[in-house]
Amino acid sequence: MTDELFQAAAEVFCEIGNQAIRERRRYTVALSGGSTPRGLHHQLATTFSTRLPWDKVFFFWGDERHVPPDFPESNFRMAKETLLSQLPIPVANVFRMPGELPDANQAAAIYEQMLCEFYASAPGEFPRFDFILLGLGPEGHTASLFPETKALEEKQRLVVGNWVAVHSTWRITFTYPLLNHAANIMFLVEGGGKADVVRQALKDPSAHLPCQEVKPVNGELMWYLDQSAGGRL
């Protein structure tokens, strides 16, 4: 069942990408951290490796740990090992968050500036990603938007440093305004350990989970679950 989940997600990833490339000659993607995307990356690097012109795909990250890119915890490192190094993706098409900088807020500001330059955004205009991949934490966090953290309140910035007290660490994360301007957002969730929070997220508006504030203003929101993750629905 889990293989079917990742195959289905890869199919959608490639369909959206080919349409974006036909219409705009490029495909902009924000990747997720965690372990679940590994299955999607494997499908894209093997079964679906010929389904996209990879030189027209541009990779960003929705969040990053406050660590250097070669650390085991780095979201960039995981994607590089499981996806980017497996496909003919130009180095110039990869835009990682500078998690190694001592100041997470400075790293976020640099990344925001890079996004604005890449998209040639006018002041006050939000970049529009073709596809953003998101995961779901056991307490309902997504990207690095954790419960009871300051980033949940951000209305203007695209990327912020976010202190996550429960983990005693800084993270760098996309904000709701940036997420919610995307054309397509996919939550990819697997495993019975996520069944309760999936049910809350999709069935209980009073839960006030961070993931529930992901609401594209003019885009599509997709939930892709395996049978275990959807077992409480």
**pTM check: above 0.85:** yes
Q: What percent of the chain has pLDDT over 70?
A: 100
Element (H, E) at 150: none
| Sequence-distant (≥ 6) Cβ neighbours of residue 162 within 8 angstroms | 104, 144, 145, 146, 149, 150, 151, 170, 171, 172, 173
> Can you give the pLDDT at residue 1?
57
What average pLDDT does this structure show over 27-33? 98
Confidence of residue 2 (pLDDT cuts 50, 70, 90): confident
Question: In 154-219, where do the E strands start and end?
Answer: 159-164, 169-174, 184-189
Element (H, E) at 29: strand 27-31
> Can you give the pLDDT at residue 136?
98
Summarize pLDDT for 146-160 with one digit per residue, the tens. 999 999 999 999 999
Order of all β-strands in the sheet with 131-134 = 57-61, 27-31, 131-134, 184-189, 220-225
Half-sphere exposure at residue 205, Cβ-oriented, CA atoms within 13 angstroms: 1
What average pLDDT does this structure show over 181-196? 98
| Sequence-distant (≥ 6) Cβ neighbours of residue 94 within 8 angstroms | 58, 59, 84
The CATH number of domain 2-225, selected from 3.40.50.1360, 3.40.50.150, 1.20.140.10, 3.30.830.10: 3.40.50.1360
DSSP letter at 101 equals S
- 61 to each of 30, 112, 115, 144, 200, how far by Cα in Å? 5, 12, 11, 11, 26
> Can you give the pLDDT at residue 124?
81
Summarize pLDDT for 54-68 with one digit per residue, the tens. 999 999 999 999 999
